[in-house]
Amino acid sequence: MKVLLLNPPYLPYYSRQSRSPCVTKSGTLYYPYFLAYTTGILDELDFDTKLLDAVVNNLSHEETIKEVKKFNPDLIVIETSTPSIKNDISIAKKIKRALPKSHVNLLGVHATALPAETLKEAGIVDSICRGEYEYTVRDLAIAIKDKKSLNKILGLSFKRKNKITHNKPRPLLRDIDKLPFVSKVYKKHFGKEGIKKYFYSSLRWPQVTILTARGCPHNCTFCNSPFKGSYRPRSPENVVKEFQFIKKELPFVKEIMIEDETFPALKRRTIKICKLLIKKKVKLNWSCNARVDTDLETLKIMKRAGARLLCVGFESVEQKSLDAIGKGTSKHIQNIFIKNIRKAKLLVNGCFILGLPGETKEDIQRTIEFAKKLNPDTAQFYPLMVYPGTAAYEWAKKQKYIKTEDYSKWLTKEGHHNTVVSRSGLSNKELVALCDLARKNFYLRASYLIPKIAQIISNPQEAKRTLKSGKTFFPYMKKVLLKK
């Protein structure tokens, strides 16, 4: 039986898998890693699978349908996201019309948050996998193959005679070591040249993205991760084995991105992974997402084990803002962290969210100035984005701050963030403009540019990734500077 797993076409360089889906200003393009994990599970059961990323291959709707028809699958699963949902439903309908005997399924964060709404709008599309979907897709594939009922498939919503049935939720996967190595899936389905098509502006290129855990022990109100509030790590031994696989089987890869919501969530586990990497002499650069409460001891051993950069959510300098989103940090903790990062000789990609609940323009300006003072290697400034299924969305909806429910308006026509949260004294347009101002004020400083130029001159690997991201970032900044 054939199964096609599709990251559907949309805007060029659109990253659905990002926790805030968009076309980045730095050229970053995420792997469809949840689809890849699912592909690996189906591969182990000897299904005839095809993992097709229409975005990275720059396929149109028509070209994608041609590829789908050529493979002629029995089951097609299609990733969704909030800003692209109209497009995603459109391509799903076209595929269903082209292959009416195939079962067409939608999945992802948006479909999980609004399964009934999505299925109604999707019309002829057959079903939705909700939540953590790998094993729901597996069970759906088995049921279709064996011509069994869909009634008992946990986590599945489906149509029968125009009636929508929501089966019981699927419990979260507990034994994460059972999952295949996603890097093995990349090797099989993408190959060397396919892997080189993906890019992460903070990392050395080429890179691969993996997960060493599912979920996050924290519960920030804006985060649209479907697994927050839970934390299920892989064993240190299992993680190190995947590092060894990448080192041996993908020797051209320069860096690993650990895309866990918070890699060093458990200090003891983090240290054990690092000690194993050192003991087994796995010399590979890697980066990860982390929090500002990661301590110096952990940072130092991470550095010894090959860590290069941490992507960290500072979000705001205002305590009222941090409290409003349940961040559990403070300016004091942020300052200690940046000092410790420099002691450990690690780089930081600092993330800041402008326009958090209760913030004024003056608060935002203080956060911009604070970002300049922290002076991370790179900085990202986002307007507050609210997604269905998050507490931030419910807050904005209750306050009647959401300007439109047309999800396509969540982005600009270029695919950049275009918040729909608009309130008295701080409109959505003003908030987007403040993010542009923040980037201009942060990056166009002598105190930033001179050390960055020195870094480019002294380190060829850093130069390669900086210049690669600059191809998209600098033209964007030029547009910002030309705005009146």
Ordered per-residue pLDDT tens for the chain, 484 residues:
999 999 999 999 999 999 899 998 888 999 999 999 999 999 999 999 999 999 999 999 999 999 999 999 999 999 999 999 999 999 999 999 999 999 999 999 999 999 999 999 999 999 999 999 999 999 999 999 999 999 999 999 998 878 999 999 999 999 999 999 999 999 999 999 999 999 998 899 999 999 999 988 888 888 887 777 789 999 999 999 999 999 999 999 999 999 999 999 999 999 999 999 999 999 999 999 999 999 999 999 999 999 999 999 999 999 999 999 899 999 999 999 999 999 999 999 999 999 999 999 999 999 999 999 999 999 999 999 999 989 999 999 999 999 999 999 999 999 999 999 999 999 999 999 999 999 999 999 988 887 877 777 877 777 766 766 666 666 656 666 666 5
Measured CA to CA in angstroms, residue 154 lies from 134, 142, 364 at distances of 11, 13, 44
What pLDDT is recorded for position 482?
63
SS3 72: coil
Report the candidate in 235, 234, 214 with the shortest Cα–Cα distance to residue 226.
Answer: 214
Q: Which helix (H) or strand (E) holds 103?
A: strand 103-107
What pLDDT is recorded for position 474?
62
What pLDDT is recorded for position 287?
97
How far from the centroid of its chain's Cα atoms is residue 122's Cα? 24
- pTM: predicted TM-score of the whole model, two decimal places: 0.94
SS3 36: helix
Residue in this structure with the two tokens 């300098």, named with its chain if needed: 317
Beta-carbon contacts of 22 under 8 Å, excluding residues fewer than 6 positions away, are 14, 15, 83, 411, 415, 416, 417
What pLDDT is recorded for position 43?
97
Structural domains of the chain ordered from first start: 2-166 (3.40.50.2300)
What pLDDT is recorded for position 142?
98
Which two structure tokens, joined as six digits, stand for 8? 């559907």
Q: Which helix (H) or strand (E) holds 398?
A: helix 391-398
| Cα–Cα distance measured from residue 109 to residue 388, given in angstroms and rounded to the nearest whole number | 9
The amino acid present at 48, given as its one-letter code, is: D
What pLDDT is recorded for position 449?
81
Q: What are the helix and strand counts (H, E) for the chain? A: 18, 17
Report the candidate in 157, 158, 17, 167 with the shortest Cα–Cα distance to residue 82.
Answer: 17
Strand partners, 216: 228
| Cα–Cα distance measured from residue 49 to residue 189, given in angstroms and rounded to the nearest whole number | 9
| Cα–Cα distance measured from residue 381 to residue 432, given in angstroms and rounded to the nearest whole number | 10
Residue in this structure with the two tokens 């393009």, named with its chain if needed: 29
| Cα–Cα distance measured from residue 307 to residue 387, given in angstroms and rounded to the nearest whole number | 32
Contact 119, 125 (CB under 8 A): yes
DSSP character for 102? Answer: S
Report the candidate in 260, 337, 267 with the shortest Cα–Cα distance to residue 301.
Answer: 267
SS3 174: coil
